[in-house]
Amino acid sequence: MATTEHPVVSPSPTAEDTSRPTTLATTDIVVLVIYFLLVLAVGLWSMWKTKRSTVDGYFLAGKNMTWWPVGASLFASNVGSGHFIGLAGSGAAAGIASTAYEWNGMLMVLLLGWLFLPIYIASRVTTMPEYLRKRFGGKRIQLFLCVLYLFIYIFTKISVDMYAGAVFIQQALQWNIYLAVVLLLSITALYTIAGGLAAVIYTDAVQTLIMVIGALILMGFSFIEVGGFQAVLDKYPQAIPSIRVPNTTCGIPREDAFHIFRHPVTSDLPWPGVILGMSIPSMWYWCSDQVIVQRSLASKNIVHAKGGSLLAAYLKVLPFFLMVIPGMISRILYPDEVGCGDPDVCKQVCGNPVGCSDIAYAKLVMELLPAGLRGLMMAVMLAALMSSLTSIFNSSSTIFTMDLWRNIRRTASEWELMIVGRVFVLVLVVVSMLWIPLVQASQGGQLFIYIQSISMYLQPPITVVFFAGCFWKRTNEKGAFWGLIVGMVVGCTRMILDFVYPTPQCYESDNRPDIIKYVHYLYFSIILTVLTLIVVVCVSLATEKPKPEQISRLTWYTRFDPVTESKEVVVSDLQTIEDATQYSKDMENDADPTKEADSSSSASSNAGSSKLRSALFWICGMEKQKGEKPKSPPPPEALTCSLEEDPCMKHLVNANLIVCMSVAVFLFAYWA
């Protein structure tokens, strides 16, 4: 990715056009200001509308979300600024194959809505590690996954989206990259801390609309400039840079650029790996990742959760047209820069000798769009960045608070959990800022390999554990734990080998060991899944059966079991009542002016202090009404999210399920 001004490398007319401004005009700045005001307004509105002073209210938006903001938030949480940079760059470098990740996600998000969500809803969980604790008992799996999830979020998702967005801003505004990141993190942390999941979901819905409109406009300009879709098919194979390493494949587009299913042995994405190996980590992401599942758990009922999955699936058709194809067009228009084939030239153009395909999307924005629309596309990138960051911040805070902190402080009150959740967001912001130098040093080249390694080498064991826990009643804690440990050890070993023996560039000979050279990472994903599954099955069968309370309402086959309250839940409810009672008394003592009427001066002072405190509590969503009394714990039936569906709406969503799956199969078949 580029971090400096790029010198002209080729004699192409477009590249020599120095009349094009390299920074945003006043109109663009106005558009950006309007965008920020809109996002803040929606955030404030959601804060006013929702109850944020309870665990469910803050972390699950009160479980009252309808299908359209849930679906929009699923899409926005998935599509970060790294998507725009990365997918367009992959399109420029290797054609449409990376679209398989998006269309595979269409099927996986439907799997979430119809197979996994009913189990999660019936089990009444807030986080995914919490589900595993209920399903298997004990705490070692829960705590192990908490740490692993936080590691994945902080060192991959946050860093990639933050860096991609910050580089885009730096190119457009010529700002220092640290200033850009600090500003973005401050704004996203503000309404994440104050508004909770409700603010995140509603702002995600607005940002999804902005992303789609802006990307559609850029796509239109791109097609006009290149001469239409047929021109893309005709011109992409000829998008060869004028300077490249002789007698190598450097800078030459792939012959299979317009195929998703490629050669099973020699290609960059072999088709058996795309079908099986890609689906396994994708299932982890869409069906058991806290960031994604938390949005669906916020739905008011199972029908709205399914409707959200459907909307997200339909929206996943768009990245092919909004990001991948524009990336290919960028290579056609600027072959010597985006498609540079000589490491020295690439180093001169973007500072990265591996290649400059990552500048494809930013190049289109700054070269093709007029004033005003460049500001809109900046808003699109900010929307992608902020929606992704807020989702990760909120979900990481949820995992830390509900799974780690509650194990450290078993008697923590709801008030304490609210404070801890907000403070942890600030901790994430600080860690993200400290991570910037390493991300910046990577220049996006090795970082992409690092992300792929995390996905293919760490996620399959987690997928197997969730899948076995949900759909095989005989799975027990020992089988799940040792399957997870063996899978992680093997996966980390392969990941380390990949770093020791990196993939050679087009001008280098391949001297890697055969196990690395001939076993593609997508194939290794399949091998790792089978190995983990064997360990889980063998250990589970060799040890004791799970207890009845570890099965009831926690698997697909037992999701309709009658509700039984465990002793742990009752104790927890009683503790919450005691805390709430004491808190209510404290608040009455603090806020009641009649108790301090002895002195007019002290009364006025306390009144002012009380108003300031009340305002601060409202901003943080931790307000309490004067004299509010804690409610009695609801009966077990009221605590349970119902799996009942309205017959008419059930038929509607099921019909859409068939249509959406047919669309996904058609797209794969057409471009295979």
Lowest mean pLDDT: which of 61-70, 315-324, 325-334, 523-532? 61-70
- For residue 150, what are the CA distances in angstroms to 147, 154, 399, 493? 5, 6, 8, 21
Of residues 631 and 484, more confidence is placed in 484
Q: Is the C-alpha dihedral spanning 593, 596, 601, 607 positive or negative?
A: negative
Taking residues 79-88, what's their average pLDDT?
79
CA distance 63 to 120: 13
Amino acid in the structure at residue 381 = M
Q: How many CB atoms are closer than 10 A to CB 400?
A: 23
pLDDT of 59 higher than 70: no
Lowest mean pLDDT: which of 36-50, 459-473, 543-557, 581-595? 581-595
Position 475 scores a pLDDT of: 96
Lowest mean pLDDT: which of 121-130, 169-178, 227-236, 383-392? 169-178
For a pLDDT cut of 90, what percent of the chain falls above it? 30
Taking residues 628-649, what's their average pLDDT?
58
Position 318 scores a pLDDT of: 94
CA distance 57 to 51: 5
* Nearest in space to 229 (alpha carbons), one of 324, 309, 146, 305: 324
Taking residues 204-210, what's their average pLDDT?
82
H or E element in which residue 30 lies: helix 26-49
Q: How confident is the model at residue 196 (pLDDT cuts 50, 70, 90)?
A: low
pLDDT of 13 higher than 70: no
Neighbour-count burial for 30-63, b at 16+ CB within 10 Å, e otherwise: ebbeebeeebeebbeebbeebebbbbbbbbbbbe
* Nearest in space to 395 (alpha carbons), one of 79, 127, 34: 127
Cβ 172 vs Cβ 363: under 8 Å: no
E strand segments, 463-599: none
Taking residues 66-89, what's their average pLDDT?
84
CA distance 30 to 88: 27
Most confident of 2-16, 153-167, 198-212, 584-598: 198-212
DSSP for residue 262: B
**Which of the listed CATH numbers 3.20.20.70, 1.20.1730.10, 2.160.10.10, 3.30.460.20 matches domain 21-441?**
1.20.1730.10
Rg (CA), the chain: 26
Position 511 scores a pLDDT of: 83
The pair of three-digit structure tokens given for residue 359, joined into one six-digit string? 């500048």
* Nearest in space to 85 (alpha carbons), one of 152, 167, 174, 187: 167
Mean pLDDT of the chain: 78
Position 523 scores a pLDDT of: 93
pLDDT of 58 higher than 90: no
CA distance 109 to 120: 14
CA distance 304 to 624: 30
Taking residues 343-372, what's their average pLDDT?
82
Taking residues 487-504, what's their average pLDDT?
86
Amino acid in the structure at residue 226 = V
CA distance 646 to 393: 34
Cβ 204 vs Cβ 390: under 8 Å: yes
pLDDT of 583 higher than 60: no
Cβ 376 vs Cβ 29: under 8 Å: no
Residues whose CB falls within 8 Å of the CB of residue 186, separated by 6 or more in sequence, listed in order: 429
Lowest mean pLDDT: which of 309-318, 535-544, 546-555, 611-620? 611-620
Position 505 scores a pLDDT of: 74
Position 611 scores a pLDDT of: 62
Position 668 scores a pLDDT of: 93
Amino acid in the structure at residue 538 = C
H or E element in which residue 123 lies: helix 117-123
CA distance 345 to 356: 10
Of residues 262 and 162, more confidence is placed in 262
The pair of three-digit structure tokens given for residue 360, joined into one six-digit string? 């494809």
Most confident of 73-87, 253-267, 556-570: 253-267
CA distance 239 to 219: 19
Cβ 257 vs Cβ 95: under 8 Å: yes
Of residues 6 and 179, more confidence is placed in 179
Taking residues 2-24, what's their average pLDDT?
42
CA distance 668 to 105: 12
Taking residues 599-607, what's their average pLDDT?
46
Residues whose CB falls within 8 Å of the CB of residue 540, separated by 6 or more in sequence, listed in order: 468, 472, 474, 475, 476, 478, 479, 480
For a pLDDT cut of 70, what percent of the chain falls above it? 76
Lowest mean pLDDT: which of 307-311, 412-416, 610-614, 660-664? 610-614
Most confident of 332-336, 468-472, 592-596: 468-472
pLDDT of 640 higher than 60: no
Position 180 scores a pLDDT of: 72
Place of tokens 């970060």: 80
Cβ 328 vs Cβ 223: under 8 Å: no
Which of helix, strand or coil describes residue 270? strand
On the 0-12 / 13-18 / 19+ scale of CB atoms within 10 A, 657 is: middle
Position 448 scores a pLDDT of: 52
List residues bridging with 341 in a β-sheet: 244
On the 0-12 / 13-18 / 19+ scale of CB atoms within 10 A, 243 is: middle
* Nearest in space to 134 (alpha carbons), one of 150, 149, 121: 121
Name the phi and psi angles at 557, rounded to 5. -85, -15
Lowest mean pLDDT: which of 211-215, 369-373, 467-471, 633-637? 633-637
Position 601 scores a pLDDT of: 45
Cβ 243 vs Cβ 9: under 8 Å: yes
Q: How confident is the model at residue 62 (pLDDT cuts 50, 70, 90)?
A: low
CA distance 505 to 479: 41
Position 604 scores a pLDDT of: 45
Place of tokens 């949900």: 470
Q: Is the C-alpha dihedral spanning 538, 542, 547, 552 positive or negative?
A: positive
CA distance 414 to 58: 11
List residues bridging with 299 in a β-sheet: 65
CA distance 119 to 643: 9
Position 631 scores a pLDDT of: 42
Model pLDDT for residues 559-569, shown as the tens digit of each residue? 998 876 544 44
Position 141 scores a pLDDT of: 93
Position 620 scores a pLDDT of: 52
Of residues 53 and 478, more confidence is placed in 478
